[in-house]
């Protein structure tokens, strides 16, 4: 399964432009979804053309909006450099250009690829840009399947709009703690996700707080907190449509990934 989100974010007079973008589509394996807001058709066309050249026109899902935002100097040129063949090495990934901050997340086959992609990104930008390398080396299929099978497509539940686990959520994490005991010295990332309702900035904070709550709970069950990391993805990586209550429920989830 290889897919990628490209998110373009800028500050406007109304706040973060990405908070008012259209509902995010769900990419299929092999697709690239590009979202965000740019100030004109030329900027949009430039980014889309580069992506379609790299991945093929039929693979690119366009959700770019045109709005009242301001680009950093020479932004279009830098985006052209960021969208390069190395991105095709990333699975389950997301490249975010947030003003002068660039972050890249997802999975690569080995540490050499992780360092190569981060180095190329930094080399292609000027010093005013900051780069956050969130890439991780893919775990073996058998190791990751243990966590996936333990979760078994269930949702770690929290009280509505809160970070407090429900009894059902705690019961699932009790099972997860048992599974994690099998991974001696393996690091695991706990990733929080929300649905698309409300402001993105609030959802990012909520997803991070919920991931942190899960980490604290697992630590209380004997899992070394030094082996657990957390991140909050907010609404950025949906697995279902946000147009229905069932889809939103699936998007409000906790994901566990083995990190190497």
85 with 185, same domain: the answer is no
Closest among 193, 179, 187, 208 to 242, alpha carbons compared: 193
Q: What is the mean pLDDT of residues 45-56?
A: 90
DSSP H or E stretch at residue 81: helix 75-82
Q: What is the per-residue pLDDT for 174? A: 96
pLDDT at 27 over 60: no
**Which candidate, 112, 111, 59, 121, places its Cα nearest to that of 87?**
121
For residue 243, report the phi and psi dihedrals to the nearest 5 degrees: -80, -10
Residue 203 has pLDDT above 80, yes or no: yes
Do 132 and 211 fall within a single domain? no
162 and 254 belong to one structural domain: yes
pLDDT of 100 reads: 82
pLDDT of residue 139: 63
Domain boundary among 137, 171, 205: 137
10 and 132 fall within a common domain: yes
Whether the CB-CB separation of 186 and 227 falls below 8 Å is answered with yes
Grade residue 88 by pLDDT with cuts at 50, 70 and 90.
Answer: confident
Q: What is the pTM of this model?
A: 0.57
Quick one: pLDDT at residue 6? 56
**CATH number of domain containing 73:** 3.40.1520.20
10 pLDDT more than 50 = no
- Residues 246-256: tens digit of each pLDDT: 888 888 899 99
pLDDT at 173: 96
Which of the two residues, 112 and 15, has the higher pLDDT score?
Answer: 112
Length of the chain: 260
Tokens linked to 162: 């809160």
Q: Is the model's pLDDT at 184 over the cut of 80?
A: no
Q: How many domains does the chain have?
A: 2
Which of 137, 158, 176 terminates a domain? The answer is 137
Spatial contact of 118 and 95, defined as CB atoms under 8 Å apart: no
Mean pLDDT score across all residues of the chain: 82
Please indicate whether residue 21 or residue 85 has the higher confidence score (pLDDT). Answer: 85
- Is the per-residue pLDDT at 11 higher than 70? no
Mean pLDDT of 144-167: 89
Please give the residue range of the domain that contains residue 114: 4-137
Q: Which residues pair with 217 in a beta bridge?
A: none
Among residues 122, 137, 152, the one where a domain terminates is 137
125 and 200: one domain? no
Whether residue 75 is found in the same domain as residue 52:
yes
Q: Are residues 102 and 172 in the same domain?
A: no
Residue 178 banded pLDDT, cuts 50, 70, 90: very high
pLDDT of residue 17: 32
3 state SS of 68 = coil
Residue 78 backbone dihedrals phi, psi, to 5 degrees: -70, -40
Give the CATH number, domain containing residue 168.
3.30.1330.60
**Which of the two residues, 221 and 138, has the higher pLDDT score?**
221
d(CA 103, CA 101): 7
pLDDT in tens, 119-137: 898 888 988 888 888 888 7
User: Would you tell me how many other CB atoms lie within 10 Å of the CB of residue 15?
Assistant: 12
Q: Do residues 204 and 95 share a domain?
A: no
- Residue scoring higher pLDDT (143 or 186): 186
Do 158 and 106 lie in one domain? The reply is no
Q: What is the DSSP string of 128-183?
A: T-EEEEEEEEPPPHHHHHHHHHHHTT----BSTTSSPBPHHHHHHHHHHHHHHTTS
Same structural domain for residues 244 and 187?
yes
118, 202: one domain: no
**Same structural domain for residues 22 and 95?**
yes
| pLDDT value of residue 12 | 29
């Amino acid at each position: 399964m290889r897919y990628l989100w490209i998110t373009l974010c800028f500050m406007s007079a109304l706040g973060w432009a990405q908070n008012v973008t259209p509902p995010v589509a769900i990419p299929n394996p092999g697709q690239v979804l590009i979202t965000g807001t740019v100030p004109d058709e030329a900027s949009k066309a430039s980014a889309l053309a580069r992506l379609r050249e790299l991945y093929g026109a039929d693979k690119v899902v366009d959700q770019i909006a045109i709005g009242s935002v301001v680009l950093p100097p020479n932004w279009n040129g830098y985006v052209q450099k960021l969208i390069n063949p190395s991105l095709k090495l990333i699975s389950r990934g997301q490249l975010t250009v947030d003003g002068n901050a660039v972050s890249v997340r997802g999975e690569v086959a080995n540490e050499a690829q992780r360092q190569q992609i981060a180095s190329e990104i930094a080399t292609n930008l000027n010093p005013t840009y900051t780069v956050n390398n969130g890439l991780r080396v893919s775990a073996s299929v058998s190791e990751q399947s243990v966590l996936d099978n333990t979760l078994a497509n269930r949702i770690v539940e929290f009280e509505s709009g809160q970070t407090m686990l429900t009894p059902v959520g705690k019961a699932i994490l009790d099972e997860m703690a048992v599974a994690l005991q099998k991974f001696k010295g393996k690091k695991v990332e706990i990733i929080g996700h929300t649905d698309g309702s409300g402001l993105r900035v609030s959802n990012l904070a909520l997803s991070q707080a919920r991931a942190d709550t899960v980490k604290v709970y697992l630590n209380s069950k004997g899992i070394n907190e030094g082996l657990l990391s957390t991140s909050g993805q907010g609404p950025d990586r949906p697995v279902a449509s946000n147009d229905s209550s069932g889809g939103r429920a699936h998007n409000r989830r906790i994901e566990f990934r083995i990190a190497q």
